[in-house]
Amino acid sequence: MTTNPIRISTATEIVTAVPALLGFIPQRSVVAILLDGAKVVCAIRVDAGMDHLATQLLPVAEKQAVDSMILVSVADAQHTDQSLATLEAIRATLATAGVETRRALHTAATEQGAEWTDIETGESGVVDNPSTTAANLNRLIEGRSFVASREAIEDIYAPTEVDPTAEINRARAIARIQGRDSFARTTITELAALVTDRQTPSAELAARVGVMMADDVEARDIVLGLAINAPIEAHDAVAAIARHLTGIERAEALTVAGYFAYVAGRGPDAGIAFAAAENAAAAAGEVPPRLLDLLNRALSSGMTPAQMRTLGDAGIEAGRKRRVSLTAS
């Protein structure tokens, strides 16, 4: 889910804005653009063929007081029937909650020059340049942009090929020597400086952050406070850290990176990070972090980024109690 309180009106504007509303260029998808009056509340993507996921849009629509929606099917000829069936499943499901479908559109792609068709009227047109839409301008003003595909977002969280075991073991040895509070204080201070300076984390720091998050839940929650002033920079730093990790350390870091993406309004990024966190925990035979379950449920139920900032506020307060500063010195 991506929140984006802007207005779009014509069918060409709607289809052209889809990549910016989602944050990536969709394929084999149905995009539900949920509306409050004429204002876009959020955009949610569902894989073509996953008709049963339509029910997951109901709590989002109820929480956001959605009164209508626009549905956009994006699929090549081979997957069009499947995509249109999913579109109809979403239309029927949300109709039970009184959500009107204003327009139902189909296009093979959301790239410039592709043809779109109104499923009900037969009207057609051509997709404009997605980079020039009001939705994309809004994202750029906020320091965001859309990427080439969902796979490009997945690559942000993909692990490196270097085995982190030795670094993890060294980090745990340092933690034992320094003690819980000193280790957390030193590690979080360095992480905060990294975020402020927009630097790339070393494998050594990544290992210490991963160990701290896995072994000290309160310290991990303190890190969430970085979302208050710099969610995008914090996301980029912790996503890079997660790439150096494996097992439960990676799962914890991906959960936190997903949280930062969530607060920054990057719903698709958050969902992909959370899925990667679940996979990392499962691969290691570990129970996923409880925070991950909480965030997944929040995302599915349509809680807004602003509502999720309360976790960051709590992190700052927890940091004060443990004398850990999130401000780089």
pLDDT value of residue 134: 52
Class of domain 2-148: alpha beta
**Residue 40 pLDDT level (bands cut at 50, 70, 90):** confident
Looking at residue 142, its pLDDT comes to 46
Q: In degrees, to the nearest 5, what angle opens at C-alpha 181 toward C-alphas 177 and 185?
A: 100
Instruction: Give the list of residues 6+ apart from residue 17 with CB closer than 8 angstroms, or none.
Output: 8, 130, 133, 134, 135, 136
Q: If pLDDT is split at 50, 70 and 90, which confidence band does 74 have?
A: very high
Q: Taking the domains of the chain in order of start, what are their residue ranges?
A: 2-148, 155-321
Average pLDDT, rounded, for the chain: 89
Whether the predicted model's global pTM rises above the 0.85 cut = no
| pLDDT band with cut points at 50, 70 and 90 for residue 56 | confident
Q: Kindly state the average pLDDT of the residues 182-203.
A: 96
Q: CA 18, CA 108: separation in Å to the nearest integer?
A: 13
